[in-house]
């Protein structure tokens, strides 16, 4: 539990991350993701509750925790006047790797993160993606068993984001336990074994990406037909396989049908539309997005300022907020209890 004055930033976060796995904290801005990471990395003391990282109590032995973790925060924490090499060398010295090992490790990491060429240039000449990579390299200097990454791809262009994902996947294959925060379901899905959805300081759902999406039930087929005359026939054809009401947008000749069953449903839908003689301009299966998960779990859009989320057809699967929890208890290397 963490309060700032009257604001309770963190109220009910109860997490266990087994060694060598990836947990993603998924939630909008202000949900409590960063506060959680800061408590686990000893930067903040909780007002109530306890946490252990790699078997060490965060409150009782913060310095022992710091030996075992790497942190890459939301803002690339690199010293822009130092070169990439100097940044990493300094971090190595402060992890007490010794002069020689720090230098070696700095060169290794520059190589791994494709920064060798830029390694002797001041970091202020780096692009956003390069700074991010350097920051992440800083978190890896001491080869920590547990890694915390707070929105590692926020502010990156799509290409840099893909690069970052590749790098993170490599590290995870190497056996690192990773706690990752993100605003993107896609990112959580791509990297995490397990996802905890967090909102207003509480974990409101927990599971794999597929489990969460199934729980949301937001999978749907979207079809655009070629002629106005085909709309009714298409509606009838889709309704036969839909799990809820088919929504029709007449002016754009678009139909949205909630389904469950993935690609097989789409094949079936196309077969039925074809045999009904409906001309199709566009058709596709749409999986739930972060917004859909949020809407379903909290009854409101992920971002308070997002408008029209409610208005888009088929985006409201409705139903009460699901509270299913999946707890992983075995060999916990990182845990946190309210």
Partner 1 sequence: MNAVLGALADGSVVAKRNLIHIKRVPDLLIGTLISPIMFILLFAYVFGSAIPAPDGVNYREWLVPGIFAQTVIFGGTITGMGLATDMQKGIIDRFRSLPMAQPAVLIGRTSSDVVTNILTIAIMAATGLAVGWRIRTSIPEAVLGFALLLLFAYAVSWAMAYIGLLVRTPEAFQSLTFLTVFPVTFIANTFVPIDNFPTVLKVVADWNPVSSLVLATRELFGNVGPAGLVRAPEAWSLQHPVAYTLIWVALILLVFVPVASRQYKRATSR
Interaction between residue 44 and partner 1 (CB under 8 A): yes
Region label for 53, one of left (φ > 0), alpha (ψ between -120 and 50) or beta (otherwise):
beta
| Contact predicate 151/77, CB 8 Å | no
| Contact predicate 213/242, CB 8 Å | no
Helix (H) and strand (E) counts in the chain:
11, 16
DSSP-derived pairing of the beta strands 177-182 and 15-18: unpaired
Interaction between residue 77 and partner 1 (CB under 8 A): yes
For partner 1, the closer of residues 20 and 122 by Cβ is 122
Interaction between residue 42 and partner 1 (CB under 8 A): yes
Smallest gap from residue 70 Cβ to partner 1 (A)? 8
Among 2, 66, 132, 161, binds partner 1 (CB under 8 A): 66
Distance CA 326, CA 144 (A): 27
Structure tokens at 44: 């903040």
| Gyration radius of the chain's alpha carbons | 23
| Contact predicate 39/45, CB 8 Å | yes
Among 1, 11, 54, 82, binds partner 1 (CB under 8 A): 82
Smallest gap from residue 57 Cβ to partner 1 (A)? 15
Interaction between residue 63 and partner 1 (CB under 8 A): yes
Interaction between residue 258 and partner 1 (CB under 8 A): no
Interaction between residue 143 and partner 1 (CB under 8 A): no
| Contact predicate 59/50, CB 8 Å | yes
Interaction between residue 94 and partner 1 (CB under 8 A): yes
Smallest gap from residue 132 Cβ to partner 1 (A)? 12
| Contact predicate 72/150, CB 8 Å | yes
Among 4, 29, 48, 81, binds partner 1 (CB under 8 A): 81
Structure tokens at 234: 């298409």
Smallest gap from residue 68 Cβ to partner 1 (A)? 9
Smallest gap from residue 19 Cβ to partner 1 (A)? 20
Distance CA 72, CA 144 (A): 12
For partner 1, the closer of residues 97 and 223 by Cβ is 97
Stretch that binds partner 1, among 92-100, 189-197, 228-236, 292-300 (CB under 8 A): 92-100
Q: List the x/- string, 166-195, binding to partner 1 by CB under 8 A.
A: ------------------------------
Question: Tokens 């779990």 — which residue?
Answer: 297
Binding site for partner 1 (CB under 8 A): 38, 41-44, 63-64, 66-67, 69-71, 73-82, 86, 90-91, 93-96, 122, 135, 138
């Amino acid at each position: 539990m963490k309060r700032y004055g009257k604001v309770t930033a963190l109220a009910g976060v109860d997490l266990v991350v087994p060694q060598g796995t990836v947990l993603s904290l998924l939630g909008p801005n202000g949900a409590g993701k960063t506060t959680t990471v800061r408590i686990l990395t000893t930067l903040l003391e909780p007002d109530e509750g306890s946490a252990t990282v790699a078997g060490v109590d965060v409150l009782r032995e913060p310095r022992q925790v710091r030996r075992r973790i790497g942190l890459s925060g939301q803002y690339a924490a690199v010293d822009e006047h130092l070169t990439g090499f100097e940044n990493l060398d300094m971090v190595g010295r402060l992890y007490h790797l010794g002069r020689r090992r720090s230098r070696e490790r700095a060169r290794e990491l520059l190589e791994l993160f494709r920064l060798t060429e830029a390694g002797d240039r001041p970091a202020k000449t780096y692009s956003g993606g390069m700074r991010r990579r350097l920051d992440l390299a800083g978190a890896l200097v001491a080869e920590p068993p547990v890694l915390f990454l707070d929105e590692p791809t926020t502010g990156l262009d799509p290409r840099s984001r893909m690069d970052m994902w590749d790098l993170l996947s490599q590290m995870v294959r190497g056996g690192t336990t990773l706690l990752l925060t993100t605003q993107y379901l896609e990112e959580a899905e791509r990297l995490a074994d397990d996802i905890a959805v967090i909102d207003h300081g509480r974990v409101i759902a927990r599971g794999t990406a597929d489990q969460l999406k199934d729980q949301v039930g937001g999978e749907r087929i979207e079809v655009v037909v070629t002629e106005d005359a085909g709309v009714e026939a298409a509606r009838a054809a889709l309704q036969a396989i839909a799990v809820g009401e088919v929504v029709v947008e007449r002016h754009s000749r678009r139909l949205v049908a909630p389904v469950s069953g993935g690609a097989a449903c789409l094949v079936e839908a196309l077969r039925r539309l074809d045999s009904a003689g409906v001309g199709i301009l566009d058709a596709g299966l749409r999986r739930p997005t972060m917004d859909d998960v949020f809407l379903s779990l909290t009854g409101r859009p992920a971002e308070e300022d997002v408008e029209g989320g409610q208005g888009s057809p088929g985006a409201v699967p409705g139903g009460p907020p699901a509270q299913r929890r999946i707890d992983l208890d075995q060999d916990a290397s990182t845990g946190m209890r309210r």
